[in-house]
Amino acid sequence: MNWRLSTIAVAAAASLAAAQKDVSTKDLVKIAETYVESYQAKMAYVIADEEYVQRTFDELGAQTRERVMDGELLLTFVPADHEWIAIHDVAAVDGDMVTDRSDLRALIMRGAVESVSRELLARNARFNIGGVERNFNEPTLALLVLEAQRVKGFSFDRKSIENDGGRQIATLAFEEKDTSTLIRDTRGRPVPIKGEIELDAATGLIQRTRIEFKQNGVVGELATIYTRNDKLDMWVPATFTESYTRKTTTDFDHIECNAKYSNYQRFGATARIKK
């Protein structure tokens, strides 16, 4: 009896393995690149409610400060600039309304959005806590790794491929080689990144991304989890986490940021947004 059960289990495993296709690193990159190209077209002027929490910790791991921000996030891809635009319209900080808030929807409708991204980027950075200066927090940033104009600047390696309910889920590692990096420090110097992308090996659908970088004593990690949104008929960022650690002989900073997105909707606009 035990022998028969073992035989059945082995046969089932062999059948499953035969049904799965061994997808190479090159194939995965191409499949993912095609998915991202389509995704960029679909993710146009999408707005979501955003709850953004930042916490700082001391060297012993004890929390020292917390900041809670509520507002909206506008996501769109600008083909002419080959960039994702993530505009964070902060409405309240620690329960207090932001008195100089610009009405993002009104700005878009008027078409006065030529410098909205740059202005809000600088303005929203003032709400950050912790000693690590930063002005980027785009949940879709890792998708640029597979953007047609940038993909050649990265090396890729298939780390694993596993079965998940009949779907083959691959983990694709990447490392930036080009000096024209996605991230730059406050002096404009390149900050090379590396990380992983978790995707459906058959369709290229991306469900998780992670970016790591290390520069000037700062170690950072950005991670996004995507979930399906029936209203938009696509997968969208559900959570975005950031971690920054800076340690010197005289100072220590550790910052954890967690963003949650909900109530996605498409916002009609024809204006072109620039950073």
Q: What percentage of residues in the chain have a pLDDT greater than 70?
A: 80
pLDDT of residue 110: 55
Average pLDDT over every residue of 111-116: 50
Checking if the pLDDT of 252 tops 70, the result is yes
115 band by pLDDT with thresholds 50, 70 and 90: low
Checking if the pLDDT of 105 tops 90, the result is no
Place of tokens 């690149």: 33
Q: How far is CA 229 from CA 32, 34, 232, 266, in A?
A: 19, 20, 6, 12
Token digits for 159? 């780390």
Query: Is the Cα torsion angle 70, 55, 76, 26 positive or negative in sign?
Result: negative
Checking if the pLDDT of 239 tops 70, the result is yes
Say which CATH architecture domain 22-266 belongs to: Clam (2.50)
Checking if the pLDDT of 274 tops 50, the result is no
Domain residue ranges in the chain = 22-266
pTM of the model: 0.85
Q: What is the rounded CA–CA span in Å between residue 210 and residue 75?
A: 18
Instruction: Output the average pLDDT for the chain.
Output: 85
pLDDT tens for 197-221 read: 999 999 999 999 999 999 888 999 9
119 band by pLDDT with thresholds 50, 70 and 90: low
Q: What is the rounded CA–CA span in Å between residue 89 and residue 69?
A: 10
Least confident residue range of 6-15, 117-126, 130-139, 171-180: 6-15
Average pLDDT over every residue of 65-73: 95
19 band by pLDDT with thresholds 50, 70 and 90: very low
pLDDT of residue 3: 45
pLDDT of residue 92: 95
Strand partners, 66: 55
pLDDT of residue 12: 45
Q: What is the rounded CA–CA span in Å between residue 35 and residue 31?
A: 6
pLDDT of residue 2: 46
Checking if the pLDDT of 234 tops 60, the result is yes
- Please check whether residue 172 is in contact with residue 160, taking contact to mean a CB–CB distance below 8 angstroms: no
- Please check whether residue 234 is in contact with residue 64, taking contact to mean a CB–CB distance below 8 angstroms: no
Half-sphere exposure (Cβ direction) of 148: Cα atoms closer than 13 Å: 10
pLDDT of residue 106: 67
Residue, of 164 and 79, whose pLDDT is higher: 164
pLDDT tens for 171-190 read: 999 999 988 888 888 788 88
pLDDT of residue 16: 43
